[in-house]
Structure 1
Amino acid sequence: MGHNSFGSALTVTTFGESHGEGLGVVIDGIEAGIKLDCGAIQTEMDRRRPGSNPLGTKRNEKDTVTILSGLYQGLTTGTPLTLVLFNNDQHSSDYVELEKVYRPGHADWTFEQKFGIRDVRGGGRSSGRETSARVAAGAVARQVLESKGIKIFAGTVQVGSVVAEQRNWEESDNFLRCPDRSAAVKMEALIEQVRSEQDSIGGIIECRAQGVPAGLGEPVFDKLDALLAHALMSIGAVKGVQIGDGFSCASMRGSQCNDQRDRNGFLSNHAGGILGGISSGQEIILQAAVKPTPSISLKQKTVDTDNCERILEIKGRHDPCICPRAVVVVESMVALTLLDLFYCAFGRQK
């Protein structure tokens, strides 16, 4: 039912809590004989890990990955690949005062309504830290996709009202992975401003996939764009997804929106590389809207478990903007979706 698992031909199951012993992922269905670069996996983990980015949380986890199964002499065996990372810098005492209070913007209330119990330490299973396991799996998927000529990259293209006007991806070597250097400077300044105000801010992450062959996805329910939207919307901070021109299509005419063709190929890519739910062979382009971090130090109204009104000031170490560390999470979910559909379409060897 997809409680903690994702995918079909490639199934990914994550486990663990924010302040438990650790987190991990089991990848079932990965093809055999792939030589994994463990250093590259760790590099991806370092992009997401707490404490790696001056614009983010001060929690400092090493997020060192240990591979428990599915690898022999550096090659995948075709059996379940299990990766784990242990928590070392959790401050569970930061959450003691929240045991009987529901945090605004968090899953505290809904989690308790569903399960009758909740882990108050950082949100437990509903914490953004769960995405570390996704990044570990995505790092593996990206290596497999790259062996097939498929490249995935993403960056922050908006923070608050600051919008990137350029798409110079070779210039995205900043903390936000923003493809517009001048916009990146303004974004960083805005993030530091809201941090000083004890607040947070949202943004938009754009992801692109190049080298994707035509034919991935199904024409009805398992459309490629539907599955990508599902994958991205499963990230806790994501509140909206658009493919290609997305919502802009609502104000366009067919003559503007249609991707016309000549004998050399498509003349535009308003559809974002997906037509009728199936990849067209063009670059896949999508965007994910990321909400502001709900944990802020400003006073907020809420209620406690006795339904008494309370004023809450959240303590702890939190990101003033989720985007900088979420870029690699978006890339990972896109990679896992594309590899799953690649296996569905072409099998485990091509």
Structure 2
Amino acid sequence: GHPGLGGFDLFVAIRQRGQIAIENLGVPINSSADDFSLYLFDPAKGFFTSNRPGGKGDDDIYTFVNNDPDLKVVNYYLAGIAYEAVETDGQVENKILAGTHIKLIGEDGSILEETYTSNTGQYEFRVYPEEDYELIADKQPTHFTDREVFSTVGRSVDKSTLTELVTNRTFKQDLVLTPIVKDRAFVLENILFAFNSAEINDASAEELDNLVQILEDNPQIRIELSAHTDSVGSNADNLLLSQRRAESAVNFIIERGIDQDRLYSRGYGETQPIARNTNPDGTDNPEGRAKNRRVEFKVVEITEQINNQSDPDDPNTPEEDPEDRYFQGSGGGR
């Protein structure tokens, strides 16, 4: 328990940066007798019950008014809309995604709240000043999970500027999920290799860690990780080099704890260019070769949903043509 003045006491919980401190309301609210059943009918007025000396009976009801002129309350909320990114005729459009599972994660990694978006794609959470959060949005098994970092640090309202006793402030954070479609290629940005090398450097490791997060968030997918080269060197050498690089990337992901049964490696060498290696006049095209030196992943299998996150109360599951998202990469050797 907490130190008190007598029998039952009334306390207040003060939250700051994810920590909650309990404080006794003290005199005159509390006494040496039993004080309980607090009720507020606005932030400055309320009732409570006490059997302190001087009452009219056993348990009496008392009213109180807080006359502190600086008493102001600010309620903070985080709200937004969940969308899916849909590509139609080469144009990407965000469309409302109802029934999306949204989790609010605290600084310690725990789930503070969770909800499902409405038919209009909306969600809302209560948040607190000077705290860091993460939003996780998923709609498995049809969409990739989206993660967004959000913070209220440095964004508190200056109460001295407020005229109302109670102020509500809402922060906006929309979420965009990408549909999962088999055999659609996603180019990984910043996967760079030294010339004729398959060694994973620091920049490549960071990008592959992002892919590990995708695989952890989406346990229903199996992927092919493929490596590609430009046309410098022989076809045979480029094919072998790309296979070594693909296997190196897959081994890195396995070392991070992803089941090897969910991963396939394949090197395509120079056989699948996405840009010209040379210009029409036969001269070198460095920009085109840079685009061709790339590492991609694509979903090759979508297993049965492992953890059903669908909202049972929402019969609407919009299905649109999927988006093909690309992360453009460049640099490196062959």
- Alignment TM-score, normalising by the size of structure 2: 0.24
**Structure of greater relative contact order (alpha carbons < 8 Å, 6+ residues apart):** 1
Higher normalized helix content (fraction of residues): 1
- Alignment TM-score, normalising by the size of structure 1: 0.23
Give the number of the structure whose alpha-carbon radius of gyration is greater.
2
